Amino acid sequence: MAAADPFALFDSWFKEARASEPNDPGAMVLATATAEGRPSVRAVLLKGLGAEGFTFYTNYGSRKAQEISANPNVALLFHWKSLRRQVRIEGVAHEVDPAEADAYFATRSRESQIGAWASDQSQPLAHRALFEARYEDAMRKFEGSAVPRPSYWSGYRVVPERIEFWSDRPHRLHERRLFTLGPDGWSEGLLYP
């Protein structure tokens, strides 16, 4: 069956979530796996959205980035409790181009920019004071100047192949709409709850 654009439906739901969720409607759970298939999951923030996919940013030294490098197949989950809805996305993560990463980095608060320089994300930290000292060192280093994006900090865009829209219904008779990308574009179907 031919489908309407799943991104239009996502945009509609996301607009409702921004109006109803008390905190971080752009929070999405990101599932990655090692090359051997060992999974891990964490929440990240959606920082870009369009027909090309769902974008987030991280340190290339982070566990998520290392796993994406080994296995770019990922899954995302948006859960909007206030709306009793969720969206599940499966696809492939691709690095954003450096100009796009630079443009986004420039929109971050100066403190967040400094934090990107101070953190060896996901690496062991002997004690909090060490991180705080590194943050202060970075503050001094960039005092009076713009903070450039570190070369080890960038973004990924998840290009979806499957998008499922789940709506809560009474008596666990939920509605599940599945959009699947094929050679001729998106097709839509339903799943049993």
pLDDT value at residue 115: 96
Residue ranges making up the domain that contains 21: 6-108+151-191
Tell which residue, 106, 191, 83, has the closest CA to residue 155.
106
Residues 112, 113, 118, 120, CA torsion sign:
positive
Catalytic, 172? Answer yes
The amino acid present at 60, given as its one-letter code, is: Y
Distances (CA, A) of 25 to 41, 47, 83, 115, 167: 18, 11, 11, 23, 16
The reply to whether 55 falls in a domain is yes
Q: State the catalytic residue, choosing from 110, 157, 162, 172.
A: 172
pLDDT value at residue 1: 43
pLDDT value at residue 50: 93
Which parts of the chain sit beneath pLDDT 50? Answer: 1-3
The reply to whether 17 falls in a domain is yes
The reply to whether 165 falls in a domain is yes
Structural domain tally of the chain?
1
pLDDT value at residue 104: 97
pLDDT value at residue 122: 87
The reply to whether 161 falls in a domain is yes
CATH for 43: 2.30.110.10
184: Cα separation from own chain's centroid: 27
The reply to whether 19 falls in a domain is yes
The reply to whether 138 falls in a domain is no
pLDDT value at residue 2: 44
Q: How many residues does the chain have?
A: 193
The reply to whether 136 falls in a domain is no
